[in-house]
Structure 1
Amino acid sequence: MILYGNEVAKAIEERSLALIQDKTPVLAIVRVGENPSDLSYERGLTKRCEKMGVTIKNVVFPLDVDVDTFYASIDELNQDKTVHGILMFRPLPKNLDNERARNAIAPEKDVDGCTDGSLAGVFTNTNKGFAPCTAQAVMECLDYYNIDVTSKNVTIVGRSLVVGKPLAMMMTSKNATVTLCHTKTKNLKEACQRADIVVVATGQMESMGASYFRQGQTVIDVGINFNETKQKLCGDVLFEEVEPIVENITPVPKGIGSITNSVLVYHVCQACSQSN
Protein backbone atom coordinates (compact mmCIF):
# COMPACT_ATOMS: atom_id res chain seq x y z
CA MET A 1 0.00 0.00 0.00
CA ILE A 2 1.19 3.51 -0.78
CA LEU A 3 0.72 5.66 2.32
CA TYR A 4 -0.46 8.99 0.93
CA GLY A 5 -0.28 11.97 3.27
CA ASN A 6 -3.30 13.99 2.13
CA GLU A 7 -5.87 11.84 3.93
CA VAL A 8 -3.79 11.97 7.11
CA ALA A 9 -3.55 15.77 6.82
CA LYS A 10 -7.33 16.06 6.45
CA ALA A 11 -7.88 14.02 9.61
CA ILE A 12 -5.46 16.26 11.54
CA GLU A 13 -7.21 19.38 10.23
CA GLU A 14 -10.54 18.07 11.53
CA ARG A 15 -8.97 17.60 14.98
CA SER A 16 -7.55 21.12 14.78
CA LEU A 17 -10.93 22.69 14.02
CA ALA A 18 -12.52 20.79 16.91
CA LEU A 19 -9.91 22.26 19.28
CA ILE A 20 -10.39 25.95 18.49
CA GLN A 21 -14.16 26.30 17.86
CA ASP A 22 -14.84 30.00 18.62
CA LYS A 23 -11.18 30.99 19.20
CA THR A 24 -8.80 32.55 16.66
CA PRO A 25 -5.30 31.04 16.80
CA VAL A 26 -2.41 33.34 15.88
CA LEU A 27 0.92 32.14 14.48
CA ALA A 28 3.88 34.53 14.38
CA ILE A 29 6.30 33.73 11.55
CA VAL A 30 9.77 35.16 12.23
CA ARG A 31 11.89 35.57 9.12
CA VAL A 32 15.29 37.23 8.64
CA GLY A 33 15.95 38.27 5.03
CA GLU A 34 14.23 37.17 1.81
CA ASN A 35 15.46 33.61 1.30
CA PRO A 36 13.43 32.19 -1.65
CA SER A 37 12.84 28.81 0.02
CA ASP A 38 11.63 30.54 3.21
CA LEU A 39 9.28 32.74 1.17
CA SER A 40 7.92 29.74 -0.72
CA TYR A 41 7.28 27.80 2.48
CA GLU A 42 5.73 30.87 4.09
CA ARG A 43 3.27 31.29 1.21
CA GLY A 44 2.19 27.66 1.38
CA LEU A 45 1.82 27.73 5.15
CA THR A 46 -0.13 31.01 5.02
CA LYS A 47 -2.64 29.47 2.60
CA ARG A 48 -3.12 26.45 4.86
CA CYS A 49 -3.52 28.65 7.93
CA GLU A 50 -6.07 30.87 6.21
CA LYS A 51 -8.06 27.77 5.27
CA MET A 52 -8.03 26.69 8.93
CA GLY A 53 -8.91 30.09 10.38
CA VAL A 54 -5.43 30.67 11.81
CA THR A 55 -4.17 34.26 11.65
CA ILE A 56 -0.58 34.88 10.53
CA LYS A 57 1.54 37.62 12.10
CA ASN A 58 4.63 38.24 9.95
CA VAL A 59 7.70 39.47 11.80
CA VAL A 60 10.38 40.25 9.21
CA PHE A 61 13.92 41.52 9.82
CA PRO A 62 16.69 42.63 7.45
CA LEU A 63 19.77 40.41 7.17
CA ASP A 64 21.82 42.90 9.17
CA VAL A 65 19.31 43.12 12.02
CA ASP A 66 20.69 44.34 15.34
CA VAL A 67 21.08 41.38 17.74
CA ASP A 68 19.43 43.16 20.68
CA THR A 69 16.52 44.26 18.51
CA PHE A 70 15.98 40.71 17.29
CA TYR A 71 15.87 39.15 20.76
CA ALA A 72 13.73 41.95 22.15
CA SER A 73 11.16 41.18 19.44
CA ILE A 74 11.19 37.46 20.26
CA ASP A 75 10.65 38.32 23.92
CA GLU A 76 7.71 40.54 22.98
CA LEU A 77 6.13 37.65 21.07
CA ASN A 78 6.67 35.36 24.07
CA GLN A 79 4.86 37.85 26.31
CA ASP A 80 2.07 38.66 23.83
CA LYS A 81 -0.99 36.67 24.93
CA THR A 82 -2.65 37.17 21.54
CA VAL A 83 0.15 35.15 19.87
CA HIS A 84 -0.19 31.41 20.41
CA GLY A 85 2.66 30.00 18.34
CA ILE A 86 6.03 31.15 17.00
CA LEU A 87 7.76 29.71 13.93
CA MET A 88 11.32 30.89 13.28
CA PHE A 89 12.96 30.26 9.91
CA ARG A 90 16.45 28.85 10.31
CA PRO A 91 19.33 28.79 9.63
CA LEU A 92 19.77 32.42 10.54
CA PRO A 93 22.50 34.76 9.22
CA LYS A 94 25.91 34.54 10.88
CA ASN A 95 25.36 37.56 13.11
CA LEU A 96 22.65 35.61 14.97
CA ASP A 97 23.46 32.49 16.97
CA ASN A 98 21.13 29.67 15.89
CA GLU A 99 21.28 27.86 19.23
CA ARG A 100 20.48 30.95 21.25
CA ALA A 101 17.79 32.01 18.79
CA ARG A 102 15.81 28.77 18.79
CA ASN A 103 15.95 28.61 22.59
CA ALA A 104 14.73 32.20 22.87
CA ILE A 105 11.22 30.95 21.99
CA ALA A 106 9.01 30.05 24.97
CA PRO A 107 8.40 26.25 24.91
CA GLU A 108 4.62 26.72 25.19
CA LYS A 109 4.73 28.72 21.92
CA ASP A 110 7.34 26.53 20.21
CA VAL A 111 4.92 24.96 17.73
CA ASP A 112 7.83 23.81 15.53
CA GLY A 113 9.35 21.77 18.37
CA CYS A 114 12.84 23.24 18.00
CA THR A 115 13.73 24.38 21.53
CA ASP A 116 15.59 22.35 24.12
CA GLY A 117 12.48 22.64 26.30
CA SER A 118 10.27 21.01 23.67
CA LEU A 119 12.84 18.30 23.00
CA ALA A 120 13.07 17.61 26.75
CA GLY A 121 9.31 17.09 26.69
CA VAL A 122 9.72 14.48 23.95
CA PHE A 123 12.55 12.71 25.74
CA THR A 124 10.67 12.61 29.08
CA ASN A 125 7.32 11.81 27.41
CA THR A 126 5.65 14.83 29.02
CA ASN A 127 3.54 17.64 27.57
CA LYS A 128 6.19 20.34 27.83
CA GLY A 129 6.33 22.18 24.50
CA PHE A 130 5.66 20.36 21.23
CA ALA A 131 7.28 17.53 19.31
CA PRO A 132 9.20 18.41 16.12
CA CYS A 133 6.59 18.49 13.36
CA THR A 134 8.22 16.04 10.95
CA ALA A 135 8.81 13.45 13.67
CA GLN A 136 5.19 13.74 14.77
CA ALA A 137 4.06 13.57 11.14
CA VAL A 138 5.66 10.11 10.91
CA MET A 139 3.75 8.96 13.99
CA GLU A 140 0.51 10.46 12.66
CA CYS A 141 0.95 8.60 9.37
CA LEU A 142 1.49 5.26 11.09
CA ASP A 143 -1.47 5.82 13.42
CA TYR A 144 -3.80 6.80 10.57
CA TYR A 145 -2.98 3.69 8.56
CA ASN A 146 -3.26 1.47 11.69
CA ILE A 147 0.38 0.41 11.61
CA ASP A 148 1.05 -0.41 15.26
CA VAL A 149 4.65 0.07 16.42
CA THR A 150 4.18 -1.85 19.68
CA SER A 151 6.80 -4.61 19.97
CA LYS A 152 7.97 -3.87 16.41
CA ASN A 153 11.61 -3.52 15.41
CA VAL A 154 12.09 -0.01 14.01
CA THR A 155 15.23 1.20 12.24
CA ILE A 156 15.61 4.97 11.87
CA VAL A 157 18.31 6.11 9.44
CA GLY A 158 19.28 9.68 10.44
CA ARG A 159 20.02 11.15 13.87
CA SER A 160 19.00 14.80 13.57
CA LEU A 161 17.16 16.70 16.30
CA VAL A 162 14.42 17.37 13.74
CA VAL A 163 13.59 13.74 12.96
CA GLY A 164 15.86 10.90 14.07
CA LYS A 165 16.50 11.48 17.77
CA PRO A 166 13.03 12.72 18.79
CA LEU A 167 11.34 10.07 16.64
CA ALA A 168 13.37 7.35 18.37
CA MET A 169 12.01 8.56 21.71
CA MET A 170 8.44 8.81 20.40
CA MET A 171 8.65 5.27 19.00
CA THR A 172 10.12 3.96 22.26
CA SER A 173 7.31 5.54 24.27
CA LYS A 174 4.92 3.51 22.07
CA ASN A 175 6.84 0.33 23.01
CA ALA A 176 8.80 -0.11 19.79
CA THR A 177 12.35 -1.44 19.84
CA VAL A 178 14.41 1.17 18.03
CA THR A 179 17.77 1.05 16.25
CA LEU A 180 19.04 4.55 15.45
CA CYS A 181 21.46 4.54 12.52
CA HIS A 182 23.59 7.13 10.74
CA THR A 183 26.31 7.52 8.12
CA LYS A 184 28.90 5.77 10.34
CA THR A 185 26.70 2.73 11.07
CA LYS A 186 28.31 -0.57 10.07
CA ASN A 187 26.15 -3.11 8.23
CA LEU A 188 23.40 -0.57 7.60
CA LYS A 189 21.70 -2.86 5.10
CA GLU A 190 21.37 -5.58 7.73
CA ALA A 191 19.96 -3.12 10.26
CA CYS A 192 17.33 -2.05 7.72
CA GLN A 193 16.47 -5.54 6.52
CA ARG A 194 15.79 -6.93 10.00
CA ALA A 195 13.38 -4.10 10.88
CA ASP A 196 9.60 -4.23 10.61
CA ILE A 197 9.47 -0.46 10.03
CA VAL A 198 12.24 1.61 8.43
CA VAL A 199 12.25 5.41 8.61
CA VAL A 200 14.70 7.05 6.22
CA ALA A 201 15.87 10.61 6.86
CA THR A 202 19.40 10.68 5.46
CA GLY A 203 19.11 13.86 3.39
CA GLN A 204 20.81 11.95 0.56
CA MET A 205 18.70 11.70 -2.59
CA GLU A 206 17.60 8.19 -3.58
CA SER A 207 20.51 6.75 -1.60
CA MET A 208 18.71 3.59 -0.45
CA GLY A 209 17.55 1.06 -3.06
CA ALA A 210 16.11 -2.45 -3.09
CA SER A 211 19.11 -4.07 -1.37
CA TYR A 212 18.25 -2.33 1.93
CA PHE A 213 14.75 -3.79 2.21
CA ARG A 214 12.72 -6.99 2.24
CA GLN A 215 9.12 -8.09 1.86
CA GLY A 216 6.60 -7.26 4.59
CA GLN A 217 8.18 -4.00 5.73
CA THR A 218 6.75 -0.51 6.15
CA VAL A 219 9.05 2.20 4.77
CA ILE A 220 8.63 5.86 5.72
CA ASP A 221 10.64 8.20 3.49
CA VAL A 222 11.11 11.59 5.14
CA GLY A 223 13.52 12.99 2.55
CA ILE A 224 12.58 15.54 -0.06
CA ASN A 225 15.01 16.43 -2.83
CA PHE A 226 14.87 17.79 -6.35
CA ASN A 227 16.35 15.42 -8.91
CA GLU A 228 17.83 17.56 -11.68
CA THR A 229 18.12 14.61 -14.06
CA LYS A 230 14.53 13.45 -13.63
CA GLN A 231 13.28 17.03 -13.13
CA LYS A 232 11.05 16.04 -10.24
CA LEU A 233 10.90 15.79 -6.46
CA CYS A 234 12.09 12.53 -4.93
CA GLY A 235 12.92 11.06 -1.56
CA ASP A 236 15.93 9.45 0.10
CA VAL A 237 14.58 6.04 -0.96
CA LEU A 238 14.70 4.86 -4.59
CA PHE A 239 10.92 4.50 -4.79
CA GLU A 240 10.74 2.68 -8.13
CA GLU A 241 12.98 -0.12 -6.80
CA VAL A 242 11.59 -0.38 -3.29
CA GLU A 243 7.82 0.00 -3.77
CA PRO A 244 7.35 -3.41 -5.47
CA ILE A 245 9.17 -5.18 -2.61
CA VAL A 246 7.77 -3.78 0.64
CA GLU A 247 4.28 -3.94 2.10
CA ASN A 248 3.80 -0.20 2.73
CA ILE A 249 5.71 2.90 1.64
CA THR A 250 5.24 6.66 1.66
CA PRO A 251 5.67 8.48 -1.67
CA VAL A 252 7.63 11.68 -2.30
CA PRO A 253 5.96 14.06 -2.86
CA LYS A 254 2.45 13.53 -1.36
CA GLY A 255 3.80 11.68 1.66
CA ILE A 256 5.17 12.88 5.00
CA GLY A 257 5.67 16.41 3.68
CA SER A 258 1.92 16.70 3.16
CA ILE A 259 1.36 15.91 6.83
CA THR A 260 4.04 18.11 8.41
CA ASN A 261 2.32 21.47 7.82
CA SER A 262 -0.94 20.10 9.20
CA VAL A 263 0.90 19.05 12.35
CA LEU A 264 2.31 22.59 12.70
CA VAL A 265 -1.17 24.11 12.39
CA TYR A 266 -2.49 21.53 14.87
CA HIS A 267 0.17 22.62 17.36
CA VAL A 268 -0.92 26.26 16.95
CA CYS A 269 -4.51 25.23 17.60
CA GLN A 270 -3.42 23.21 20.64
CA ALA A 271 -1.50 26.20 22.01
CA CYS A 272 -4.55 28.40 21.43
CA SER A 273 -6.91 25.98 23.17
CA GLN A 274 -4.55 25.79 26.17
CA SER A 275 -4.16 29.57 26.48
CA ASN A 276 -6.16 31.73 28.90
Structure 2
Amino acid sequence: MIINGKEISLKVKDEVKQEVERLNEHGKRVPTLAVILVGRNPASMTYVKNKEIGCRYVGIGSIKIEMSEQTTQEELLKQIYTLNADNTVDGILVQLPLPAHIDEKTVIEAIDPKKDVDGFHPVNIANLFLGKEGLLPCTPYGMMVMLESIGYDLEGKEVVVVGRSNIVGKPVALLALSKSATVTIAHSRTKNLKEVCQKADVLIAAVGVAKMFDDSYIKAGAVVLDVGMNRDENNKLCGDVDFEKCKNKAQAITPVPGGVGPMTIAMLLHNTLKAYKLRENIE
Protein backbone atom coordinates (compact mmCIF):
# COMPACT_ATOMS: atom_id res chain seq x y z
CA MET A 1 0.00 0.00 0.00
CA ILE A 2 1.24 3.47 -0.89
CA ILE A 3 0.26 5.94 1.85
CA ASN A 4 -0.98 8.97 -0.07
CA GLY A 5 -0.06 12.09 1.90
CA LYS A 6 -1.85 14.37 -0.54
CA GLU A 7 -5.19 12.63 0.03
CA ILE A 8 -4.80 12.39 3.81
CA SER A 9 -3.66 16.02 4.12
CA LEU A 10 -6.66 17.16 2.06
CA LYS A 11 -8.96 15.35 4.47
CA VAL A 12 -7.32 17.13 7.43
CA LYS A 13 -7.60 20.49 5.65
CA ASP A 14 -11.25 19.87 4.79
CA GLU A 15 -11.98 19.14 8.47
CA VAL A 16 -10.31 22.45 9.44
CA LYS A 17 -12.22 24.24 6.67
CA GLN A 18 -15.56 22.93 7.98
CA GLU A 19 -14.77 24.09 11.51
CA VAL A 20 -13.74 27.55 10.29
CA GLU A 21 -16.99 27.77 8.29
CA ARG A 22 -18.94 26.95 11.47
CA LEU A 23 -17.12 29.74 13.31
CA ASN A 24 -18.10 32.12 10.52
CA GLU A 25 -21.72 31.00 10.71
CA HIS A 26 -21.77 31.79 14.44
CA GLY A 27 -20.35 35.26 13.84
CA LYS A 28 -16.98 34.54 15.45
CA ARG A 29 -13.66 35.83 14.15
CA VAL A 30 -11.62 33.31 12.20
CA PRO A 31 -8.24 31.97 13.39
CA THR A 32 -5.21 33.86 12.09
CA LEU A 33 -1.67 32.65 11.36
CA ALA A 34 1.27 35.06 11.20
CA VAL A 35 4.39 33.91 9.32
CA ILE A 36 7.70 35.74 9.56
CA LEU A 37 10.16 35.29 6.70
CA VAL A 38 13.69 36.65 7.19
CA GLY A 39 15.69 36.93 3.96
CA ARG A 40 14.99 35.53 0.49
CA ASN A 41 15.88 31.84 0.78
CA PRO A 42 14.13 30.31 -2.29
CA ALA A 43 13.03 27.12 -0.47
CA SER A 44 11.71 29.16 2.46
CA MET A 45 9.81 31.46 0.09
CA THR A 46 8.17 28.41 -1.51
CA TYR A 47 7.20 26.98 1.89
CA VAL A 48 5.69 30.29 2.98
CA LYS A 49 3.74 30.58 -0.27
CA ASN A 50 2.33 27.07 0.24
CA LYS A 51 1.30 28.01 3.78
CA GLU A 52 -0.54 31.06 2.42
CA ILE A 53 -2.34 28.86 -0.12
CA GLY A 54 -3.28 26.45 2.67
CA CYS A 55 -4.66 29.27 4.81
CA ARG A 56 -6.75 30.55 1.92
CA TYR A 57 -8.14 27.07 1.26
CA VAL A 58 -9.35 26.50 4.82
CA GLY A 59 -10.43 30.10 5.44
CA ILE A 60 -7.82 30.94 8.07
CA GLY A 61 -6.50 34.51 8.17
CA SER A 62 -2.91 34.86 6.98
CA ILE A 63 -0.35 37.54 7.80
CA LYS A 64 3.05 37.46 6.08
CA ILE A 65 5.81 39.60 7.53
CA GLU A 66 8.89 39.81 5.33
CA MET A 67 12.13 41.04 6.89
CA SER A 68 15.48 41.60 5.21
CA GLU A 69 18.51 39.32 5.47
CA GLN A 70 20.19 42.10 7.50
CA THR A 71 17.45 42.13 10.15
CA THR A 72 19.02 42.03 13.62
CA GLN A 73 18.03 39.47 16.22
CA GLU A 74 16.64 42.30 18.37
CA GLU A 75 14.42 43.53 15.52
CA LEU A 76 13.09 40.02 14.93
CA LEU A 77 12.40 39.49 18.65
CA LYS A 78 10.58 42.83 18.80
CA GLN A 79 8.33 41.69 15.92
CA ILE A 80 7.60 38.40 17.73
CA TYR A 81 6.71 40.23 20.96
CA THR A 82 4.31 42.44 19.00
CA LEU A 83 2.57 39.35 17.59
CA ASN A 84 2.54 37.69 21.03
CA ALA A 85 0.57 40.68 22.33
CA ASP A 86 -1.84 40.82 19.37
CA ASN A 87 -5.13 39.17 20.40
CA THR A 88 -6.18 38.73 16.76
CA VAL A 89 -3.17 36.48 16.02
CA ASP A 90 -3.51 32.83 17.11
CA GLY A 91 -0.45 31.22 15.53
CA ILE A 92 3.08 32.51 15.02
CA LEU A 93 5.60 30.78 12.78
CA VAL A 94 9.14 31.96 12.08
CA GLN A 95 10.30 30.26 8.90
CA LEU A 96 13.54 28.35 9.36
CA PRO A 97 16.43 28.41 8.63
CA LEU A 98 17.33 31.88 9.84
CA PRO A 99 20.40 33.90 8.76
CA ALA A 100 23.56 32.79 10.59
CA HIS A 101 23.74 35.88 12.83
CA ILE A 102 20.35 35.08 14.44
CA ASP A 103 20.11 32.41 17.15
CA GLU A 104 17.31 29.97 16.27
CA LYS A 105 16.88 28.75 19.86
CA THR A 106 16.41 32.28 21.22
CA VAL A 107 13.85 33.07 18.53
CA ILE A 108 11.81 29.89 19.12
CA GLU A 109 11.78 30.50 22.87
CA ALA A 110 10.53 34.08 22.32
CA ILE A 111 7.25 32.85 20.77
CA ASP A 112 4.28 32.57 23.14
CA PRO A 113 3.93 28.76 23.66
CA LYS A 114 0.15 29.13 23.19
CA LYS A 115 0.81 30.55 19.70
CA ASP A 116 3.69 28.21 18.81
CA VAL A 117 1.95 26.33 15.99
CA ASP A 118 5.23 24.68 14.90
CA GLY A 119 5.28 22.94 18.28
CA PHE A 120 8.99 23.70 18.83
CA HIS A 121 8.83 25.77 22.04
CA PRO A 122 10.34 24.02 25.10
CA VAL A 123 6.97 24.29 26.88
CA ASN A 124 5.22 22.37 24.08
CA ILE A 125 8.03 19.80 23.89
CA ALA A 126 7.73 19.34 27.69
CA ASN A 127 3.96 18.90 27.34
CA LEU A 128 4.59 16.22 24.71
CA PHE A 129 7.09 14.49 27.01
CA LEU A 130 4.66 14.59 29.93
CA GLY A 131 1.61 13.61 27.87
CA LYS A 132 -0.12 16.93 28.57
CA GLU A 133 -2.27 19.07 26.26
CA GLY A 134 -0.19 21.23 23.94
CA LEU A 135 0.70 22.02 20.34
CA LEU A 136 2.51 19.11 18.67
CA PRO A 137 5.34 19.41 16.10
CA CYS A 138 3.66 19.29 12.69
CA THR A 139 5.65 16.64 10.81
CA PRO A 140 5.65 14.00 13.61
CA TYR A 141 1.97 14.72 14.30
CA GLY A 142 1.24 14.28 10.59
CA MET A 143 2.90 10.85 10.60
CA MET A 144 0.66 9.71 13.46
CA VAL A 145 -2.38 10.87 11.49
CA MET A 146 -1.13 8.93 8.44
CA LEU A 147 -0.88 5.72 10.48
CA GLU A 148 -4.37 6.29 11.90
CA SER A 149 -5.73 6.88 8.41
CA ILE A 150 -4.64 3.40 7.27
CA GLY A 151 -5.98 1.85 10.49
CA TYR A 152 -2.54 0.95 11.83
CA ASP A 153 -2.40 0.49 15.61
CA LEU A 154 1.04 1.13 17.15
CA GLU A 155 0.28 -0.65 20.41
CA GLY A 156 2.96 -3.28 21.08
CA LYS A 157 4.70 -2.63 17.75
CA GLU A 158 8.46 -2.20 17.31
CA VAL A 159 9.13 1.30 15.98
CA VAL A 160 12.62 2.29 14.84
CA VAL A 161 13.27 6.00 14.27
CA VAL A 162 16.49 6.73 12.39
CA GLY A 163 17.29 10.35 13.18
CA ARG A 164 17.41 12.25 16.47
CA SER A 165 16.57 15.83 15.52
CA ASN A 166 14.45 18.01 17.81
CA ILE A 167 12.08 18.68 14.89
CA VAL A 168 11.32 15.11 13.79
CA GLY A 169 13.26 12.25 15.37
CA LYS A 170 12.79 12.88 19.10
CA PRO A 171 9.16 14.09 18.94
CA VAL A 172 7.95 11.26 16.69
CA ALA A 173 9.60 8.77 19.06
CA LEU A 174 7.67 10.30 21.98
CA LEU A 175 4.41 10.22 20.01
CA ALA A 176 4.92 6.55 19.12
CA LEU A 177 5.70 5.82 22.78
CA SER A 178 2.45 7.54 23.78
CA LYS A 179 0.66 5.03 21.52
CA SER A 180 2.23 2.16 23.51
CA ALA A 181 4.83 1.25 20.87
CA THR A 182 8.28 -0.06 21.78
CA VAL A 183 10.60 2.61 20.40
CA THR A 184 14.26 2.58 19.35
CA ILE A 185 15.98 5.81 18.31
CA ALA A 186 18.89 5.09 15.97
CA HIS A 187 21.31 7.54 14.36
CA SER A 188 24.64 7.91 12.55
CA ARG A 189 26.59 6.41 15.48
CA THR A 190 24.32 3.37 15.91
CA LYS A 191 26.20 0.10 15.59
CA ASN A 192 24.71 -2.56 13.29
CA LEU A 193 22.13 -0.06 12.00
CA LYS A 194 20.83 -2.44 9.34
CA GLU A 195 20.11 -5.14 11.92
CA VAL A 196 18.35 -2.62 14.17
CA CYS A 197 16.14 -1.48 11.26
CA GLN A 198 15.31 -5.06 10.27
CA LYS A 199 13.49 -5.54 13.60
CA ALA A 200 11.10 -2.65 12.94
CA ASP A 201 7.37 -3.11 12.40
CA VAL A 202 7.46 0.61 11.60
CA LEU A 203 10.61 2.22 10.20
CA ILE A 204 10.78 6.03 10.25
CA ALA A 205 13.64 7.36 8.11
CA ALA A 206 14.72 10.91 8.95
CA VAL A 207 18.44 11.24 8.22
CA GLY A 208 18.57 13.40 5.08
CA VAL A 209 20.63 10.97 2.96
CA ALA A 210 19.20 10.16 -0.46
CA LYS A 211 18.04 6.53 -0.86
CA MET A 212 20.09 5.37 2.13
CA PHE A 213 17.60 2.63 3.03
CA ASP A 214 17.09 -0.14 0.49
CA ASP A 215 15.06 -3.34 0.93
CA SER A 216 17.85 -4.98 2.96
CA TYR A 217 17.04 -2.59 5.84
CA ILE A 218 13.36 -3.49 6.16
CA LYS A 219 11.60 -6.66 7.14
CA ALA A 220 8.78 -8.02 5.02
CA GLY A 221 5.47 -6.43 5.93
CA ALA A 222 6.95 -3.39 7.69
CA VAL A 223 5.41 0.07 7.45
CA VAL A 224 7.92 2.64 6.16
CA LEU A 225 7.54 6.38 6.74
CA ASP A 226 10.07 8.45 4.79
CA VAL A 227 10.71 11.98 6.07
CA GLY A 228 13.66 12.67 3.76
CA MET A 229 13.59 15.32 1.05
CA ASN A 230 16.67 14.99 -1.13
CA ARG A 231 17.83 15.10 -4.75
CA ASP A 232 19.03 11.93 -6.47
CA GLU A 233 21.75 11.53 -9.10
CA ASN A 234 19.29 12.79 -11.76
CA ASN A 235 18.35 15.83 -9.62
CA LYS A 236 14.89 14.37 -8.95
CA LEU A 237 13.24 14.67 -5.55
CA CYS A 238 13.64 11.52 -3.49
CA GLY A 239 13.52 10.41 0.11
CA ASP A 240 15.89 8.65 2.48
CA VAL A 241 14.29 5.35 1.39
CA ASP A 242 14.84 3.76 -2.01
CA PHE A 243 11.14 3.65 -2.83
CA GLU A 244 11.36 1.38 -5.90
CA LYS A 245 13.40 -1.23 -4.04
CA CYS A 246 11.24 -1.18 -0.91
CA LYS A 247 7.66 -0.72 -2.14
CA ASN A 248 6.99 -4.41 -2.78
CA LYS A 249 8.53 -5.60 0.48
CA ALA A 250 6.76 -3.12 2.75
CA GLN A 251 3.16 -3.50 3.91
CA ALA A 252 2.74 0.26 3.47
CA ILE A 253 5.13 3.02 2.45
CA THR A 254 5.13 6.79 1.91
CA PRO A 255 6.43 8.14 -1.41
CA VAL A 256 8.59 11.25 -1.89
CA PRO A 257 7.20 13.60 -2.99
CA GLY A 258 3.54 13.23 -1.99
CA GLY A 259 4.00 11.38 1.30
CA VAL A 260 4.88 12.96 4.64
CA GLY A 261 5.56 16.42 3.13
CA PRO A 262 1.95 17.53 2.48
CA MET A 263 1.00 16.53 6.05
CA THR A 264 3.24 19.21 7.59
CA ILE A 265 1.21 22.16 6.29
CA ALA A 266 -2.08 20.37 6.98
CA MET A 267 -1.09 19.87 10.63
CA LEU A 268 0.11 23.49 10.83
CA LEU A 269 -3.40 24.62 9.85
CA HIS A 270 -4.88 22.13 12.33
CA ASN A 271 -2.58 23.54 15.05
CA THR A 272 -3.60 27.12 14.24
CA LEU A 273 -7.25 26.20 14.70
CA LYS A 274 -6.41 24.32 17.90
CA ALA A 275 -4.41 27.28 19.29
CA TYR A 276 -7.37 29.55 18.51
CA LYS A 277 -9.83 27.22 20.27
CA LEU A 278 -7.60 26.87 23.33
CA ARG A 279 -7.20 30.66 23.60
CA GLU A 280 -10.91 31.29 23.06
CA ASN A 281 -12.04 28.39 25.31
CA ILE A 282 -13.99 26.79 22.46
CA GLU A 283 -14.57 23.02 22.52
Q: Same fold (TM over 0.5)?
A: yes
State how many pairs are aligned: 274
- Residues 41-120 of structure 1: pairs in structure 2 closer than 5 A: 41-120=47-126
SS of structure 2 residue aligned to 1:103: helix
Question: Matches of residues 27-38 of structure 1 in structure 2 within 5 Å?
Answer: 27-38=33-44
1:219-257 residue CA offsets vs partner (Å, 9 max, x unmatched): 111111122x33321100011111111111111111010
TM-score, with structure 2 as normaliser: 0.93
The code of the aligned residue for 2:189 comes to K
Does the 8 Å contact 1:164/1:201 carry over to 2? yes
Q: Kindly report the root-mean-square deviation, in angstroms, between the aligned alpha carbons of the 2 structures.
A: 1.2
**Which 4+ runs in 1 deviate beyond 3 A?**
none
- The yes-or-no answer on 1:247 pairing with 2:251 is yes
Distance of 1:10 and 1:125 partners within structure 2: 27
Letter aligned with residue 161 of structure 1: N
Post-superposition offset of 1:41:
0.9
Amino acid at match of 1:61: M
Question: What's the secondary structure of 1:253's corresponding residue?
Answer: coil
| Structure 1 residue ranges without an equivalent (≥5) | none
Letter in 2 for 1:199: I
Identity of aligned residues (%): 36
CA distance in structure 2 between the aligned counterparts of 1:230 and 1:257, rounded to whole angstroms: 21
Residue by residue over 1:111-156, the C-alpha shift from the partner in whole angstroms, topping out at 9 and shown as x without a partner, is: 011111111111111113x111111111010011111100101111
Q: Once structures 1 and 2 are overlaid, which stretch shifts more, 55-64 or 253-262?
A: 55-64
Aligned with residue 173 of structure 2, among 168, 177, 183: 168
CA shift for structure 1 position 94:
2.6
Instruction: State the shift of 1:60 in Å.
Output: 1.7
Distance 1:3 1:61 in 2: 37
- Which residue matches 1:178? 183
**Residues 99-108 or 9-18, more deviating:** 9-18
In 2, the alpha carbon distance for the partners of 1:242 and 1:8 equals 22
SS in 2 for 1:90: coil
Partner of 2:162: 157
Q: Deviations over 1:150-191 (max 9, x none)?
A: 010111100101111011111111100000100000111111
**Structure 2 CA distance for aligned equivalents of residues 66 and 152 of structure 1:** 47
Alpha-carbon distance in 1 for matches of 2:80, 2:51: 20
Give the structure 2 partner of residue 225 of structure 1: 230
Q: Which of 271, 275, 279 is 1:275 aligned to?
A: 279
